[in-house]
Structures are given as C-alpha cells and as structure tokens.
C-alpha cells in the first residue's frame, strides 16, 4: 500500500519522528505515516511535494503501480471447479476438470504410486538438483514407453528427450524451440482443441491457426476438412495432433485416417507435433494409445511429442512429463537437446525430481510395471462403463428418436455432448452439472449412480433450451 507522508520543512520535530495516520484518499481508507524528516520524501519515487508557505507537504501518490493491470478472466476449465465448490446443492456434479475419480467420486492415488513412493522413502533418496534435462532414468523410460524400446529411433539415438513440467510445460518448451529456431513458422491446431494450446502458443509468440476437426452435424470427425486445411497450410508448418483421446471431443481418427494424415503432412513437408496426454488411459493399453505416434516415426519423419503423466499415473500435481524431438540423425538430436536445455535453464532451471523418480521406479520394476498397467486398465474400464451407462440412459429417456451413439464412438475421459453454450449453461444453472461451455463433459467425474440424473439434465437441456 502506498504510504502518505507529510513533510515539514520547518522541522521543529526530530528528523526521524513519524506517526501513523488513517486518511481517506479517493474514497479508500489508507493507512499512512506522517514523517517529519525532510530528506526521506525526495528519495521516494512515489512522492510528490507541495509547498504551503514554510511547510512543504509531500503526499505519496495513492495509485498502485499496478493500476493498469486489469482483472484476468477466470480460466475456462479450472474456473469450473471454483464455481462447483461454491454450489451447495447436494445433486451437484463436477464434470469440468479432466481428473479421474473413483465410483465414490473421490480423487484416486494409484496403489502402484504409493508403493513406489514407499520404496523411495525406504531408500532414503536425496533431494539434490536434477540436471537441466531431468532424471536420466526417467528420460530413458519415457521415450521407450512412447516409441517402444526396440524402435529404431531409440536404437539409433535419434530422440532428444528432456523432462518437462508435465504436458503443459513440455508443450511450452517445444513452443519456445519453435519460436527460436523456426521464426514465423505456424502451428496448426485442431478446432476445437484443449483450451490451453492457444495460450501456450500465444505466450511463446508462435503464430497459430486452426484446422477443421469437429463436425457438429455428425458429432464426429470432419476428416475432409482436416485434410484440406493441413494441405492448405504453408509448407513446413507444425501440425499439432492429439496422439489419442482427443480433448475436448473424444473423437480420434481411425488407423486408416492416421495414414492419410501422415501422407499429407509428408507431402507438405510439415512437422508433426503430437500432444500425448492420455497414453494408456484411452484404451487401457500403452502400446495401442501410442500407435499414432509410432506410425509417423516408422515413416522416418522428424516429429515432436509432448508427454504427460498427469492422467495415466494420476500424478497431476507432480508436474511430470517430457518433450521428445525425433530427429533424422543422432547428431541433430544431440544439438536439439542442448538447445532445449538452454531454453529451460532461464525458465525454471531444472525440473522437479519426485514424479520423475516415481515413473522411473515403476517402469524399471517388472512387478510394479504390471501393477500400473492393471490399474490403468481398471481406470479406463470404469470410464468405459460409465460411457455405456450414460448412452443407455439417454436412449431410455429421450423419446425423440435422436441418435446418441456418437457417445459410444468417442474415447477417453471426455465426451463432447454437442450441447451449445446456452444449453451447457442450463446444465449448470438448472441441474448443477458443472462442465465447460463448449459442451464437454469429463466422464472421469461421473459414476454409474449419477448417469440417469445426468441423462435427464442432457435431455432437458438439448430439447428445451434453444
Ligand atoms: C490435450 C492435453 N494436453 C496436455 C494436457 C496437459 O496436462 P498436464 O500439464 O497436467 O500434464 C492436457 C490436460 O488436460 C490435455 O488434455
């Protein structure tokens, strides 16, 4: 708070004497001090001096130096949780944030994570700084999980892997690399996409535009539009693709469509840039969910892949992920890695160790690795069950003949309901169902018991709100 100072040049009082006053400037109560020293105000850059005869009065400017900073809007995804917390209705349902919940709708810490953490405690591991690129054992494990340990890109050491601050931080590091080494190059993102993609590229000053992805008529993939827009992009653009479980739509290309997407990207000399936030969480299989990335790598293409362990290991708050850059030679990969480290150093210096050790411990221990796979299957399975029940409830309650089968065609923790902004608002205002305004619901926040209630809310919003 800016202080107010009254300075008396005639200074009958001791030079350092001061007393507090409460004054009301511009209608705001301010606590300030009366200072009898004539020398202090001159040193205060906030102060302005007025002369009244022999008394010179120095009044600190009451405005904050941050006056020009306006209120930021709430985050469209994380803001939903805030609103949910404030709602006292017992029927309320939080389907906003993509975080796994148990059938009791409680947060879930994987048992295998607890085991790994106990082992780490027993080993008494230290908390020394990691190198800029992160934990070597984690970087090795994460690249192998993504590409498969026998993949030629691994064997030939053509992957530059740097541990990142989860998926978001890894994407941000890649964006910084693009901004620095591909000035002016555009990133093409799907329309729609995960809300933070635009923020990331905006903040990194990387130009972006959208390619068609979602077709509201079919609540499916606009494949023709997607291909046409990728073709039209300036040669050498970065094409951001969701490796699996597209967020927010839950709509993934088929294997045949992936091949065609790869054809166009290759033809146009574009660079694929995968965001893999749900490996193993979509289908329950780590390998199946990495098949899109592996298909591109098998063509010998250079590509980028950001990874996250927030969902598949439930390590949301540990901020553990990686950026992988597949290069055409080991030498190029070494150089790229050195520059990623150079970009990371002034941003955050080096990444946190805890999540990296959890991942490395689990992947390097066959028993723990198998336990993880079983738990991932269990989580993916629960979401599939809920999806099935929601579909059945919608069919039973909606007598209009509307086809809700698109819900079953979607994959992963999200479902795009096709509800408009006003219909989504009705879901929240009338039914206390919290979701993003684009019509996305997180099925990970739903349980079997609440499917019928949700179906009532969707049917009402869809048919009774224009
Ligand atoms: C598509 C996509 N990318 C990246 C992320 C990044 O998540 P995190 O930074 O928690 O790893 C998310 C999280 O919801 C996502 O859905």
- The answer to which of 87-91, 96-100, 335-339, 404-408 has the lowest mean pLDDT is 96-100
| Predicted confidence (pLDDT) per residue in 166-177, tens digit | 999 999 999 999
Q: How much distance in Å is there from the Cα of 173 to the middle of ligand 1?
A: 14
Alpha helix stretches (DSSP H) within 299-400: 330-348, 354-364, 366-397
Q: Which ligand 1 atom sits nearest the alpha carbon of residue 170?
A: 9
The predicted pLDDT at position 33 comes to 38
Selecting among 186, 222, 252, 311, the annotated active-site residue is: 311
- Phi and psi angles of residue 194, each rounded to the nearest 5 degrees, phi first: -55, 130
Tell me: cis bond preceding 384? Omega within 30 of 0 counts: no
pLDDT value at residue 98: 87
- Is the CB of 412 inside a 6 Å radius of any atom of ligand 1? no
Please write the tens of the pLDDT for every residue from 204-245. 999 999 999 999 999 899 999 999 999 999 999 999 999 999
Annotated catalytic residue 260: no
Q: Dump strand ranges (E) for 81-229.
A: 93-94, 159-165, 187-191, 208-212, 214-215, 220-221
Q: Whose CA is nearest to atom 13 of ligand 1?
A: 277
pLDDT digits (tens, 9 = 90+) for 269-282: 999 999 999 999 88
pTM value is 0.86
Mean pLDDT of the residues in the chain: 89
Taking only Cα atoms into account, the Rg of the chain, rounded to an integer number of angstroms, comes to: 28
Q: What is the pLDDT of residue 31?
A: 37
Q: Which distant-in-sequence residues (6+ apart) come within 8 Å of 351 by Cβ? A: 130, 134, 163, 164, 165, 169, 319, 320, 344
pLDDT digits (tens, 9 = 90+) for 279-291: 998 899 999 999 9
308 lines ligand 1 (CB under 6 A): yes
Check if 194 is active-site.
yes
CB environment 175-185: b (16+ within 10 A), e (fewer): bbbbbeeeeeb
How far away, in angstroms, is 308 Cα from ligand 1 center?
7
Euclidean distance between the first and the last CA atom of the chain, given in angstroms as a whole number: 49
**Which residue's CA is the nearest one to ligand 1's atom 10?**
310
């Amino acid at each position: 708070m800016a202080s107010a100072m009254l300075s008396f040049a005639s200074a009958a009082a001791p030079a350092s004497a001061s007393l507090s006053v409460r004054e009301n400037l511009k209608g705001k109560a301010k606590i300030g001090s009366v200072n009898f020293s004539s020398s202090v105000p001159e040193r205060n850059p906030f102060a302005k001096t007025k002369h009244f005869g022999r008394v010179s009065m120095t009044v600190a400017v009451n405005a904050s130096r941050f006056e020009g900073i306006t209120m930021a809007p709430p985050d469209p995804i994380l803001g939903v949780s805030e609103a949910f917390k404030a709602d006292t209705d017992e029927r309320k349902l939080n389907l906003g944030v993509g975080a796994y919940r148990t059938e009791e709708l409680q947060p879930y810490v994987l048992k295998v994570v607890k085991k790994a953490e106990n082992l780490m405690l027993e080993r008494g591991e230290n908390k020394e700084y990691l190198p800029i690129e992160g934990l070597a054992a984690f970087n090795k494990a994460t690249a192998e999980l993504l590409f498969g340990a026998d993949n030629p890109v691994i064997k030939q050491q053509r992957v530059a892997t740097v541990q990142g601050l989860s998926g978001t931080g890894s994407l941000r590091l890649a964006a910084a690399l693009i901004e620095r080494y591909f000035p002016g190059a555009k990133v093409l993102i799907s329309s729609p996409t995960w809300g933070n993609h635009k923020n990331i590229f905006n903040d990194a000053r990387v130009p972006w535009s959208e390619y068609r992805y979602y077709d509201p008529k079919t609540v499916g993939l606009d494949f023709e539009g997607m291909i046409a827009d990728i073709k039209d992009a300036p040669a050498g653009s970065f094409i951001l693709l969701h490796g699996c479980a597209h967020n927010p739509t839950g709509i993934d290309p088929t294997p045949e469509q992936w091949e065609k997407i790869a054809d166009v990207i290759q033809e146009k000399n574009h660079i694929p840039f995968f965001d893999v936030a749900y490996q193993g969480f979509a289908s329950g299989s780590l390998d199946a969910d990495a098949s899109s990335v592996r298909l591109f790598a098998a063509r010998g293409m250079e590509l980028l892949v950001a990874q996250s362990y927030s969902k598949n290991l439930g390590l949301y708050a540990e901020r553990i992920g990686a950026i992988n850059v597949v290069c055409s030679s080991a030498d190029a990969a070494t150089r790229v890695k050195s520059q990623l480290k150079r970009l990371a150093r002034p941003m955050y210096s080096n990444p946190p160790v805890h999540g990296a050790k959890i991942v490395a411990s689990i992947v390097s221990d066959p028993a723990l690795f198998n336990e993880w796979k079983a738990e991932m299957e269990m989580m993916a399975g629960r979401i599939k069950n809920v999806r099935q029940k929601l579909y059945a409830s919608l069919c039973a309650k909606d007598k209009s003949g509307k086809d809700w089968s698109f819900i079953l065609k979607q994959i992963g923790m999200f479902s795009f309901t096709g509800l408009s902004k006003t219909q989504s608002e009705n879901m929240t205002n009338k039914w206390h169902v919290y979701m993003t305004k684009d019509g996305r619901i997180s099925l990970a926040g739903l349980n079997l018991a609440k499917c019928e209630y949700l179906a009532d809310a969707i049917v009402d919003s869809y048919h009774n709100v224009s």
